[in-house]
Structure 1
Amino acid sequence: MSSQDEIIHIALKEHEDSDVDFVSYAQKIKAQLADPSSASAPLSLVSFHCLLQDTGYPLEVYLPGGIEASEIVDWAKLKERWVGWGVEIPGEQVWAKKQADLAENIDGLSLDTTELPASVYDDNAYRPASTHEFIGILSSSPLPSNESEDADLVPTIHVLSKTDIPLPAESETDDGDTRAKLIDYLATAFEPLDRIAAEYLLLSLLSSPTSRPVALPPLGTLAINFKRESNTATSALHSVVASVTPRVVPLALTLPLLHGQRFSPASADSSSLDAGLLQLGEGTVLIVDEDGMGSGGQLNEKALGNLKVLSDCVNEQRIKYDYPYMDGLKMDCAVRVIVLSQGKTLLPVDVHLPIRENGTKQATPSSLSPFRVYLARLSSSAHAARLVIPEEIGQLIQDDFVQRRKDGASDPEETLKRRMKIARLLALSHSHATLTKEVWERTVELDEEVAKRHTLP
């Protein structure tokens, strides 16, 4: 990574119609740090929380800060920098848009030297659909293109630093109490109130692919199909989920959407990548509404391809990227999928749950902050890594499976796979992250409740 002062020199030199010298700019930055509200004009210091939509541009050659284009250039001194295309994170909620502390993240900036070493900005690789908080100098530059003479000027950030959003600290309150209150709150997403559906919804919001065995579906996911009798049964679901989860994207499936939109990112000529509807940031909750499909209809090749991409997102947690000469390229994703329908979905979800009245209305919480902190902390990969399945519990689960086979239960293997998914997430919904006997017994209760609902008229 180049020094921050070096990058500022480059940004000043490359900014169109800029005659700002380094000393004047240093004074401007110091003034901005004292008054962050001034960060909007060109050459301001800004933070950008974004999703990297296209990371495939060629490295860009640039002149280091101390070399002017008018001088006789020693070509051996030219350097390369990485260029990417960032967009606002799809589905990010207003309450979750936290700006980085600019002063804290440029603590290595001296702003008092003009003798600078030359090196690349950043030697790290980035992948598409990754999310980052970048801090840098706002400028403009030509959009990377094969036709450089006709390239449009676009907003550009010369990145000084990258910061990660820290996870919430360990809660000082009882997680069990927060969990119970959160389930009560999530139950309001359903009409009539349904605490069983709310508990499954909680598990889905905590899910994430924690391991990806070769040739097998990932571990740690749980896709839910909520079967409703009418649209009103889940009319509040999006707003309730969005109030406690930072990224929520609705996807109303219709025939025109399947035929007219592209679900996969695609590159026509390898020079750039066009976005797809399913190019989403890690942890995004995707709420798929199938009611717009009606009684169905004829699907063309594009529509079938879109459905296949969506199915792969649910089952494999991978998204197809269409590049010329690269058939079948898929990249990992981490999307929490919830499907709403009045019939059984055709998507490969883990649980099909009819909504039934199950619970009474509770008092509206005075603050949603404890729920947001709870979900952020207990849905993290760091928390998932703490999962413990004691040996005696493993034996209990094995004995239960053997007994079910002896009793001639229907499809015991699939039942075991589903219950293990539920049990893992139930364990992770508690701070101890341990699969106990009580957790396994609750798993069986939840699974049997789903089976019972399917037998009710």
Structure 2
Amino acid sequence: MHDFAYDFDTVTPEVWRANEENWKKKLLNLPNWYKIPLINCNASHNLSDGSLARFRGMVQDMHNPEFYFEEFEVFNTVTNEIKTKSGKYKDTASILENEKINYTENLKSAQRQTMVAVTLPGLNDWAQNIENDKNHLKHLEDQPNTSKRLNITKLKRSYDECDDEDAMEVEGSEGKKEPRVTETVAEPSNVVSREHLLNFPLPDVASKSCIIKIYDDSENLKLNDMIEVVGFLSVDPALSGEFQPDKNSLIEPTTETEAETITHNPPPSLVPRLHAVYVKKLDHCNPLVLDGVDKENVLKEANSAREHLLKALTELLLGDQLAAEYLICHLIACVYLRQDTLSLGQFCLNMSNLPTKKYPNYAKQLYDIIKQFVTKSYYLPLTVDNMNTMALLPKKDYDCNRLTSGVLQLSKHTHLVLDETQMQQGQLDSTGVHNISALGNLIKLQKVEYDFKYYKMEFDSDISVLVLSEGKSLLPSDYHVSLRPEASSLEIFDAIVEAATYYLKEEIMNTIRMYLTNLKLIKYSITEDLQFVEEDFIEMRSNSDSDNPVTADDLHRLLVLARLVSLSRGFDTLNKECWDITKKMEEERIKRLKNRVPPLS
């Protein structure tokens, strides 16, 4: 018996459909899941049409439901034999030269949801390399793609087309002619560009796109959800919008433009289709962290990982341990509860007083280390040019009937680093002002406003924003830490970066990477017995004056920070020790802001 359990490498849509429940049960118990080819890590031209494949990514857009023929009859004009076939998990009907589809009787239509998924925006190289090592199947490159087309009939049809049989037929290699489907379709039509078809959120980041067709209404997927899909691959070149048959406008009124047709039907060599048999929502995308977090073990090992991270960050922040403590809290923070307009758990950190006079690229060098720790991140220099020209917010394109992505269309737990030290003098135009406003809304509300032209719609987000600046940022923040570099560290910063890179061996890096992901997934609880918090808050209020009153917001800020201080040290609830550490951190942070010192050059 061959290695791949239960014949998943040879199963066809017909075989699967004959016993769906049994196949799905086998799939969920599959020990070598990675042997189902992952499109992210394997070239789709090495995968056979109609074979099982996987795709992992973010839901980027949703199209209108699509009607298809769930059951239809095929009549053989030579043998007079009638067969019943199904269009489920397929885009095309493979029929023989002498076969015709009966469009008048026993035709059962159904609908499927169509959505576009893109590989996870901002997925860092270390995570992608682990994914490639685990999922790249070398043997696929050694075998030719032998999938042959018979007569191809598209199964996505409007009801108006059902009488026009001739327009549907496309001869295969066994017929008299092979029309345009033999053309190379790697390059899209000149009607729209390749970038338009791929529509990735982040500019200049290598990504892949896939059209997912969902048959189960209960999936309840939303925009920006992280998903892994298993389904039957559909990569026949005839699916490209460039090869849609010409319609007689008198008989079949055109309901969509050529640009819309091509946008929704890009060349499969560029954007493959996947007919889903199983969809899994992902809580995270760290390839080092397996499903089902072992809470006890994570908390037990947290302090050790934290010490490694604290040591590295303190060095990189030029000897400033307080700034390192706040940065660790920022890196493990996420939205854990939404109440009305409140997003509880967000932790936008503004780190100012960066030594940009001596090290103009300090912010980028710091980011280059941070991206080695976190699974997904994006570095955005806040230059006047970027703000005036970049599309940060997604926007509906009614000409092509699709959502044009923007930089802020990101999946949860993505780290967005805004480098304000790159801002030069210049004038923000209306786009720039709008973009700055969008960043402010993201920070304050953890919401991103999508532009549907006639109306705006807010979507919840969970994006950790770190603002690096010289003075206090022009953007809002939850915590503002003014860096206090040590003079001795400033002199040897380049050597510090080199030493940190040497110290952070792969084993330590992986410990830190798992630590940062696991602590976002751990459930934290507040016990009834928090008398020490109440007593301290009463004392803080009694000691405050009218110029600097202590408010409920201050208590909320302390409790959010205390939650992260506790988790970072391996506690899933608040104790007096962590509370005292939190108070001391905030006292020192606020004291620094009141007693500002000029930056060390």
Matched, 1:318 2:323: no
Deviates more, 1:420-429 or 1:333-342: 420-429
2:233 is the counterpart of 1:127: no
- Cα displacement (A) at 1:85: 1.1
Secondary structure of the residue aligned to 1:200 is helix
Query: Residues 324-339 of structure 1 correspond to what in structure 2 (within 5 A)?
Result: 324-327=453-456, 329-339=457-467
Query: Could you tell me which residue of structure 1 aligns to residue 278 of structure 2?
Result: 161
State the distance in 2 between where 1:354 and 1:448 align: 13
Looking at structure 2, the residues matched to 294 and 53 of structure 1 have their Cα atoms a distance apart, in angstroms, of 33
Match of 2:57 in 1: 50
Q: 1:11 to 1:259 in 2, by over 3 A?
A: farther
Name which of structure 1's ranges 335-344 and 150-159 shifts more when overlaid on structure 2.
150-159
Secondary structure of 1:64's aligned partner = strand
Contact 2:65 2:112 in 1 (8 A): yes
- Measured against aligned partners, the alpha-carbon deviations of 1:128-158 in whole angstroms (never above 9, x if no partner) come to 1111112223323446993365553332122
How many Å apart are 1:409 and its aligned residue? Answer: 6.3
Q: Say if 1:10 and 1:157 are closer, same or farther in 2 by CA, change over 3 A.
A: farther
* Distance of 2:382 and 2:313 partners within structure 1: 24
Please give the residue correspondences for 1:107-146 in structure 2 after superposition, counting only pairs within 5 Å. 121-123=215-217, 124-140=219-235, 141-142=239-240, 146=256
- Cα 1:147–1:225, aligned 2, differ >3 Å: closer, same or farther? same
Q: CA offset at residue 451 of structure 1? A: 2.2
How far is the alpha carbon of 1:73 from its aligned partner?
5.2
**Residues 201 and 33 (structure 1 numbering): CA distance in 2 closer, same or farther, change over 3 Å?**
closer
C-alpha distance in 2 between matches for 1:434 and 1:78: 54
Q: Aligned partners of 1:181, 1:7: CA distance in 2, in Å?
A: 50
**Partners of 1:186 and 1:72 in 2: CA distance:** 68
Task: Please tell me the residue identity of whatever aligns with 2:444.
Answer: N
Q: Is the 8 A contact 1:189 1:236 kept in 2?
A: no
Letter in 2 for 1:410: N
Alpha-carbon offset, residue 344 of structure 1: 0.9
User: d(CA) in 1 for partners of 2:376 and 2:37?
Assistant: 30
Distance in structure 2 (CA, Å) of the matches to 1:101 and 1:279: 26
Any conservation in 2 of the 1:423–1:435 contact (CA below 8 Å)? yes
Shift of 1:287: 0.2
**Could you tell me how far 1:96 is from its partner in structure 2?**
2.1
Distance 1:268 1:212 in 2: 30
**Residues 1:374 and 1:156: Cα distance change in structure 2 (over 3 Å):** same
- Using the alignment, how far apart are the partners of 1:102 and 1:64 within structure 2? 34
Determine the structure 2 residue equivalent to 1:15.
none
CA change 1:422–1:208 in 2 (3 A) is same
SS in 2 for 1:84: strand
Which residue of structure 2 aligns with residue 370 of structure 1?
511
Q: Which amino acid aligns with 1:396?
A: E
Q: Which residue of 2 aligns with 1:27?
A: none
**Superposition deviation, residue 252 in structure 1:** 0.8
Tell me the matched-pair count. 413
Q: Is the 8 A contact 1:224 1:351 kept in 2?
A: yes
Structure 1: 5+ residue stretches without partners: 13-29, 104-118
1:379 aligned residue: 520
**1:285-324 pair list within 5 angstroms:** 285-295=415-425, 297-324=426-453
The answer to whether 1:91 aligns with 2:122 is yes
| Deviates further, 233-242 or 194-203 | 233-242
What does residue 13 of structure 2 align with? 8
Q: Who is 2:344 aligned against?
A: 219
- Would you say the 8 A contact 1:223–1:314 is kept in 2? yes
Which residue type is aligned with residue 215 of structure 2? Answer: Y
Query: Which amino acid letter does the alignment assign opposite residue 381 of structure 2?
Result: A
Match of 2:60, SS state, is strand
* Structure 2 residues without counterparts, runs of 5 or longer: 1-7, 18-31, 72-84, 87-92, 94-99, 138-212, 245-254, 285-290, 490-495
Whether 2:267 is the aligned partner of 1:267: answer no
* Pair 1:250–1:395, CA change in 2 (3 A): same
Shift of 1:319: 0.2
SS of the aligned residue for 1:343 comes to coil
Residue 540 (structure 2) pairs with residue 426 (structure 1):
no
Aligned twin of 1:24: none
CA contact (8 A) 2:37 2:53 kept: no
How much has 1:453 moved relative to structure 2? 2.3
Amino acid in the other structure paired with 2:64: P
2:574 partner SS: coil
Verify: 1:452 aligned to 2:582, yes or no: no
> 2:184 aligns to what?
none
Distance 2:313 2:303 in 1: 15
Q: From 338, 355, 359, give the equivalent of 2:483.
A: 355
Give the match for residue 26 of structure 1. Answer: none
Counterpart for residue 61 of structure 1: 67
Residues 11 and 52, structure 2, Cα contact 8 Å, conserved in 1 = no
d(CA) in 2 for partners of 1:418, 1:409: 19
Matched, 1:147 2:152: no
Task: Check 1:357–1:9 CA distance in 2 against 1; reply closer, same or farther (3 A cut).
Answer: same
| Alignment RMSD (CA, Å) | 3.5
Q: Which amino acid aligns with 1:146?
A: E
> C-alpha displacement at 1:126, in angstroms?
1.9
SS at match of 1:63: strand
The percent identity for this pair of structures is: 23
CA distance in 2, matches of 1:35, 1:263: 33
Q: Distance in 2 between matches of 1:196 and 1:229?
A: 17
**CA contact under 8 A between 2:350 and 2:467: conserved in structure 1?**
yes
1:389/1:225 CA distance change after superposition, 3 Å: farther
> Which residue identity does 2:216 align to in structure 1?
D
Q: 1:58, CA displacement in angstroms?
A: 0.3
Indicate whether 1:209 and 2:240 are aligned: no
Return the letter of the residue paired with 1:204. H
2:404 match: secondary structure: coil
Q: Is the 8 A contact 1:80 1:120 kept in 2?
A: no
Whether contact under 8 Å (1:384, 1:428) holds in the other structure is no
- Residues 347 and 159 (structure 1 numbering): CA distance in 2 closer, same or farther, change over 3 Å? same
How far did residue 391 of structure 1 move? Answer: 3.0
Aligned partners of 1:389 and 1:435 also within 8 Å? no
Provide the rounded CA distance (Å) in 1 between the counterparts of 2:292 and 2:323: 27
The alpha-carbon distance between structure 1 residues 188 and 48, as it changes in their structure 2 partners (threshold 3 A), is farther
Q: Cα distance, 1:202 vs. partner?
A: 0.8
For residue 404 of structure 1, report the CA deviation from its aligned partner. 3.4
Cα deviation, residue 256, structure 1: 1.5
| Structure index of larger Rg | 2
User: Given that residues 37 and 52 in structure 2 are in contact (C-alpha distance below 8 angstroms), is that contact kept between their aligned partners in structure 1?
Assistant: no
Q: What letter corresponds to residue 417 of structure 1 in structure 2? A: H
Q: Is the 8 A contact 1:247 1:283 kept in 2?
A: yes
What residue number does 2:365 align with?
236
